[in-house]
Structure 1
Amino acid sequence: MRGAGGRAEALEADLRDPAAPAAIFDAAEQRLGAVDILINNASGWIQDSFTPRPADRFGRPLRAVTAETWSRQFAVDAMAPALLIGELARRHLARGATWGRIVGLTSGGDLGFPGEVSYGAAKAAQADYTLSAAAELADVGITANVVHPPVTDTGWITDEVRRFVAASGTHFHVAAPSDVAKTIVFLTSDDAALLTGNVITLR
């Protein structure tokens, strides 16, 4: 966006804090003006399982599901997105705005998310919040969609993960973050005005 003449600002926040969403919006409005677009892309990823082995197939450590693993994951991946959506909607309505975009990111699977059960459940909750927003906020000009990216190389991809993707019948690519960003940019554009209430799976 900077290349197109836009501005970017960094802000550190703890999304486990219920006060963080309002503070984020306050800071964004002070620095950049009214917020019309919300991308829920943060994650408190932690790997837990009902039957934890020492490590998963990629060598990443597993732990048992506990109140701590559940609360950490749901605070960042479910509560924070819900509060951020609510904050966007409240401010949008208060200023009488007529255009807005919400995009959430999920990693959900058809059979839950074995080996990362709290992560998968929290992402499923976020997707449900986003689809509810699509229905509730359509009449005030806000679209809301969920993107399910392919395996994306954000620094954790190993050769074993690449072999897993190559052998998979459901994973077609290891994507770069910029590849996923192109879809998000489209969903936040005027050209995507008729796209709302969807979970869009990228492969």
Structure 2
Amino acid sequence: MTRLQGKIAIVTGVSRPGGIGAAICRAFAAEGADLFFTHLYDYDKNIYPNDANESWPDLFAGELHQSGGKVGHMELDLALPGSGLLLLEEVRKTVGVPTILVNNATYSVDADFRQLTEALIDAHCAVNIRGTFMLSAEFARMLEAEQSTGGKLGGRIINLTSGQGKGPMPGNLAYAATKGAISIFTESLAAELAPLCITVNAVDPGPTDSGWMSEEVKEALLPQFPMGRIGLPGDAARLITFLASDDSEWITGQIIHSRGGF
């Protein structure tokens, strides 16, 4: 299991042991990657009070380090202007020049048309749109600069979406709209970055049991999965690991709906 040996990867939004971000990091580490992940406890403690732990990132870094690679992490709010450059500088200093970026961090607060406010829209846009867009752009600029000095670096950008193009998502208006923007961004950025051998793809993992599902939600969702079970973080992690590897070099500009037939 060495598909990512010698690669350096960034994974954003890794704050909880049961989350998709943690599963991606574990899968990457198992394939030999050096890792840098971000986390934001102040957000997760409100959304996932039973799964968020302020001291967990340090413990998780120790777990990943047992695979033999370098590991770094930092608390980062992608809503802050300049956060993308700050992250890339820290990664280069701590681990090295990254060639894989997984935009897993997201902002999501349920709101229907009665609850929607300007502040809520701005909060979603700041992370899901501006944060994702600018980090991706700064990452690509960094790799372009490396190539201009004689480096032969390709790269991988992998975004997370939520199936907003498969049907309406009532009650979650700002989240659905901003995730939809990521899909459009993915397709257009892929065309721009193809000459640099940087692929850009997005993964929609469907409803995934990453700590937010109650037993009632699981019971309601299960009949809609023809494969007989609900999606798990590891399902998304396996696909994302493939997209991060050299085996996926001919795949770009795709929105992959990996949702077990949901």
- TM-score of the aligned structures, taking structure 2 as reference length: 0.69
**Does 1:98 find its partner at 2:153?**
yes
What is the alpha-carbon distance in structure 2 between the residues aligned to residue 26 and residue 172 of structure 1?
44
Aligned length: 191
Write the distance in 2 (CA, Å) between the matches of 1:94 and 1:197: 22
Moved more, 89-98 or 131-140: 89-98
Deviation at 1:6, TM superposition (A): 2.3
1:32 maps to which of 69, 82, 95: 95
- 5+ residue gaps, structure 2, are 1-28, 30-63
> By how many angstroms is 1:173 displaced?
4.0
Change (3 A) 1:9 1:42: same
SS of corresponding position for 1:174: coil
Task: From the superposition, tell whether residues 160 and 44 of structure 1 become closer, same or farther in structure 2 (CA, over 3 Å).
Answer: same
**2:215 matched to which residue of 1?**
159
Name the SS for the 1:151 alignment partner: coil
Q: CA deviation at 1:169?
A: 6.7
> Matches of 1:169 and 1:39 in 2, distance apart?
26
Q: Provide the rounded CA distance (Å) in 1 between the counterparts of 2:236 and 2:144.
A: 30
- The percent identity for this pair of structures is 34
Q: Choose 10-19 or 107-116, whichever is displaced more.
A: 107-116
Deviation at 1:42, TM superposition (A): 0.5
Alignment of 1:31-180 (within 5 A): 31-51=94-114, 64-96=115-147, 97-109=152-164, 110-168=166-224, 173-180=229-236
> Contact 2:205–2:236 (CA<8 Å) still a contact in 1?
yes
Provide, for residues 152-187 of structure 1, a one-character-per-residue CA deviation record: whole Å limited to 9, x for no partner: 112111111112212327896422212211111100
The CA RMSD over aligned residues, in Å, is 1.7
Q: Deviations over 1:74-98 (max 9, x none)?
A: 1111110100111011111111143
Three-state SS of the structure 2 residue aligned to 1:182 is: helix
Contact 1:150 1:173 survives alignment (8 Å): no
Looking at structure 1, the residues matched to 99 and 128 of structure 2 have their Cα atoms a distance apart, in angstroms, of: 21
Using the alignment, how far apart are the partners of 2:238 and 2:250 within structure 1?
18
Counterpart CA distance in 1 for 2:226 and 2:84 is: 35
Q: Gapped runs of 5+ residues in structure 1?
A: 52-63
SS in 1 for 2:75: coil
CA distance in 2, matches of 1:111, 1:82: 24
